[in-house]
């Protein structure tokens, strides 16, 4: 099934509302905690956060009553060039590199530490984080931060757009991709502790940054054009260079179980 995405918000909003489903723990398949999870962390130049994130997440998965059963791996996907940051391309590159080694991906910001969360296999693309972010999110649309998708669903929506540079709107674009192909989305809506950083999306006086404005305009243009661009902008059109993969090393410390991929993007 494919859905027509209306260009105006008054028609789109009820469709976004209707797309959400509540997580149903009791209805889950018995193997929902046995599928292989790849946690994908798009990354560049946030070493202090990464140093906290890796041990924190490992401890979370050691102790959480349900999620401790999940066979997971952490993949740090570093953008190794001086272009503006591109979260979508890094996630797409990880999807390709991981291939058949995982059943599902969780695209995970490095600065979000799970307090109450749910990383089980997503029968539908799932929003894991809603609460605890410094800026309140639009609950109707928000699909960023920490998002889980099966490999099959990721492929079906052609992954992320490769065209959002700098900051913002690649997550809204991802959400509309799921809507376009008729997928429901699950609102797990966990609570996370957000680490502090200078914000790329807004200027000091609270206005959208130039990169944020560009990406907002790009997203608006996609919508106005009927939101068809995703078919040829994503995993199937990604052109990046994989510079190598090693165990993660941070200062003197090595994390043998954490994969560190270095990717050079192309404009």
Is 62 buried (19+), middle (13-18) or exposed (0-12) by CB count in 10 A?
exposed
**44 contact choice in ligand UDP, Mn ion, none (CB below 5 to 8 Å, kind-dependent):** ligand UDP
Residue from 35, 77, 97, 111 in contact with Mn ion (CB under 5 A): 111
175 binds ligand UDP (CB under 6 A): no
- In the complex, least distance from residue 264 CB atom to ligand UDP, rounded to whole angstroms: 15
Q: Based on CB atoms, which residue is closest to ligand UDP, 32 or 208?
A: 208
- According to DSSP, residue 70 is labeled -
**45 contact choice in ligand UDP, Mn ion, none (CB below 5 to 8 Å, kind-dependent):** ligand UDP
Rounded to whole angstroms, the Cα distance separating 176 from 258 reads 31
Rounded to whole angstroms, the Cα distance separating 90 from 77 reads 6
Rounded to whole angstroms, the Cα distance separating 118 from 66 reads 8
45 binds ligand UDP (CB under 6 A): yes
Nearest C-alpha neighbor of 161 from the set 75, 231, 70: 231
Residue 56 backbone zone (phi > 0: left; psi -120 to 50: alpha; other: beta): alpha
42 binds ligand UDP (CB under 6 A): yes
Question: Which residues, 6+ apart, have CB-to-CB distance to 100 below 8 Å?
Answer: none
Nearest C-alpha neighbor of 106 from the set 62, 161, 162, 148: 148
- In the complex, least distance from residue 150 CB atom to ligand UDP, rounded to whole angstroms: 22
- In the complex, least distance from residue 207 CB atom to ligand UDP, rounded to whole angstroms: 14
Q: Based on CB atoms, which residue is closest to Mn ion, 190 or 234?
A: 190
In sequence order, which ranges of 64-150 are alpha helices (DSSP H)? Answer: 87-98
172 binds ligand UDP (CB under 6 A): no
Question: 144-169 b/e with 16+ CB inside 10 Å = b?
Answer: bbbbbbbbebbebbbbbbbbbbbbbb
- H or E segment at 58? helix 47-63
46 binds ligand UDP (CB under 6 A): yes
84 binds ligand UDP (CB under 6 A): no
What does the per-residue mask of binding to ligand UDP show for 190-209, with x meaning CB under 6 A? ----------xx--------
**6 contact choice in ligand UDP, Mn ion, none (CB below 5 to 8 Å, kind-dependent):** none
Total residues at the site for Mn ion (CB under 5 A)?
1
171 binds Mn ion (CB under 5 A): no
**28 contact choice in ligand UDP, Mn ion, none (CB below 5 to 8 Å, kind-dependent):** none
Residue from 35, 75, 87, 188 in contact with ligand UDP (CB under 6 A): 87
- In the complex, least distance from residue 45 CB atom to ligand UDP, rounded to whole angstroms: 5
Pairing between β-strand 72-79 and β-strand 37-43 as defined by DSSP bridges: parallel
Contact footprint for ligand UDP (CB under 6 A) = 41-46, 85, 87, 109-111, 200-201
Contact footprint for Mn ion (CB under 5 A) = 111
């Amino acid at each position: 099934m494919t859905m027509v995405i209306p260009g105006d918000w008054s028609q789109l909003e009820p469709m976004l509302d209707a797309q959400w489903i509540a997580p149903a723990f009791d209805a889950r398949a018995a193997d929902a905690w046995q599928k292989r999870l790849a946690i994908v962390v798009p990354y560049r130049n946030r070493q202090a956060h990464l140093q906290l994130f890796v041990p924190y997440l490992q401890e979370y998965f050691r102790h959480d009553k349900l999620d401790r059963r999940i066979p997971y791996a952490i993949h740090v996907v570093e953008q190794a060039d001086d272009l503006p940051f591109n979260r979508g391309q890094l996630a797409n590159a990880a999807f390709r590199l991981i291939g058949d080694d995982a059943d599902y991906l969780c695209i995970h910001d490095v600065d979000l530490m799970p307090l109450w969360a749910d990383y089980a296999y997503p029968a539908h693309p799932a929003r894991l984080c809603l609460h605890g972010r410094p800026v309140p999110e639009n609950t109707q649309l928000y699909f960023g931060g920490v998002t889980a998708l099966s490999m099959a669903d990721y492929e079906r929506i052609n992954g992320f757009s490769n065209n959002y540079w700098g900051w913002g709107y690649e997550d809204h674009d991802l959400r509309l991709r799921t809507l376009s192909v008729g997928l429901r989305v699950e609102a797990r809506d966990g609570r996370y502790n957000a680490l502090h950083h200078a914000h790329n999306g807004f200027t000091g006086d609270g206005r959208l940054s130039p990169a944020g404005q560009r990406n907002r305009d790009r997203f608006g243009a996609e919508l106005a054009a009927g939101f068809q661009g995703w078919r040829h902008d994503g995993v199937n059109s990604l052109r990046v260079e994989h510079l190598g993969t090693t165990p993660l090393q941070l200062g003197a410390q090595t994390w043998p179980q954490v994969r560190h991929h270095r990717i050079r993007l192309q404009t």
